[in-house]
Chain A
């Protein structure tokens, strides 16, 4: 039996509408399956219910409208070499972008969180993460941000972005994250 092109088109329209309606629901159950940007990086997963604020009822909002490259599809991570707090050249685009945002909006505040990989002592890594955060803050201020807009913090090795004990995991954990307040 030949399916008329009209009914195919209509089927497609119905399917598209359904997708549109479903997408707009933003229910947490559906979102876990997809390639959705989850703010909370912890391995326990979104199902834990403990959002980034640490309370029992926190909910992380995901803005699907941002995925098309507008407003907040921003790079917010700067990576570092082992035992180093030098801001590399490849971080320049990220630093430039956030420096512009800060310079252009005196009310905008950000926190820069420094992190390390899992090697070495926890205290030394706390201090190294602090150096990384401060190095990024310094880079931002050199490009127009004001120090009052920025706070450097460190979590040392306590909040890895990825688990694993190989260089590829370590490289992803040696980082500073730039977060809007």
Chain B
């Protein structure tokens, strides 16, 4: 990191730990290419960020995962923290020289250790210090199998995030997405940083629209394995799967109700594409829309009372809302030639969607109480499928760059973006899973 930038930014550093994203402190700059060595590419300018040093953990170089690097990448990706380089080893049992860390510009410091136990597990410990007050902010220890080392690092990042921001972290959550290489499609589940992907479904035919059940135990998705669009639900842990909708024509766009009991979906069995409700076991089908238009991409609000969806009943696809049990629809988007793929924040206040303007498909956020206009938060031109993190602070979406399809996360204000790297396949259709595993 550029020393000059550090020193200039340091002059603005007189803050408390809990920060608001809309604070008026001058932006901290870092070079657009702060490429973490773990292939999470982060770029952007943050509004207010807490400078934190995550030192090397003693013993981590002999472990399969470098804990400190995962923790630092997580914190950076949240947009609320700025990396202070910390090439030193700091153990959780020590009393670090706070003055040294002040000089480096850190407001907080993390250290720890990783010890291999006789039974093959690793004992991972960390401690957090408030460098400004020179106080110990606590820590924890956990012994895990080697395969859970990434998870432990994510949990440490969550604990630090919660202690310093007062909000729940999402680093231990998971995302799912679809990858395509040639004619091989996979539905994959990965950590929220895109690493550690496991395959839930292999297919020679397209898979689209995966959706997490609210309890995180199941995925609904659309599979073309029988040469048409059919909605399936699959248990993530066991792989057991069942057809939920295979009516005449296309069955697609599954969206779980917040209580997990029902799904909204799009069926073409009666002509066109219309919205229906169905029980999670495939029973109790009920039609919701009665138009000659395309009505699709339904999504429930967190209170389960309203459905947002896409309809071209006005001539072009726009986002509408209607009561979740059916009823008159009201248009919600007015500034785009097309509005697609609505996503609602977990607090029900923000609508994210894809807006087509001047030929570009861009991720846009819009407050649902009408308190502000829609704002584009990317400057790419091929964005798709936005999905909120469960703490409402981040959105994962897919985009295209240099002919490749890839996944990005962004803070809701658009200021900090991170690329989630893949291994060469085209990846698309991300969905952010709930808390808990």
Contacts and interface: CB of A to CB of B under 8 A. Distances in A.
Interface residues of B, number: 40
Interface stretch (A42-50, A62-70, A86-94): A42-50
Contact of A54 (B204, B250, B266): B204
Contacts of B341: 121, 123-124
A42 B250 contact: no
A54 B225 CA distance: 9
A123 B253 contact: yes
Contacts of B159: none
B182 interface: yes
A121 B340 contact: yes
Contacts of A130: 249-250, 268, 272-273
B74 to A, nearest CB: 29
B213 interface: no
Contact of A122 (B182, B271, B429): B429
Tell me if B's interface is mostly helix, strand, loop or mixed: strand
Nearest to B178: A122
Interface residues of A, number: 27
Given A44-B182, A54-B204, A131-B272, A124 B361 contact: no
A44 B354 CA distance: 31
Contacts of A158: 206, 208, 224
A126 B356 CA distance: 18
A121 B229 contact: no
Contacts of A131: 272-273, 294
B266 A123 contact: yes
B264 to A, nearest CB: 12
A119 B338 CA distance: 11
Interface string B315-344: 011000000000000000000001011000
A122 B209 contact: yes
20 contacts: A44-B182, A54-B205, A119-B361, A121-B385, A122-B208, A123-B208, A123-B297, A124-B297, A124-B310, A124-B317, A126-B296, A127-B272, A130-B250, A131-B272, A131-B294, A154-B229, A154-B250, A155-B224, A158-B224, A159-B206
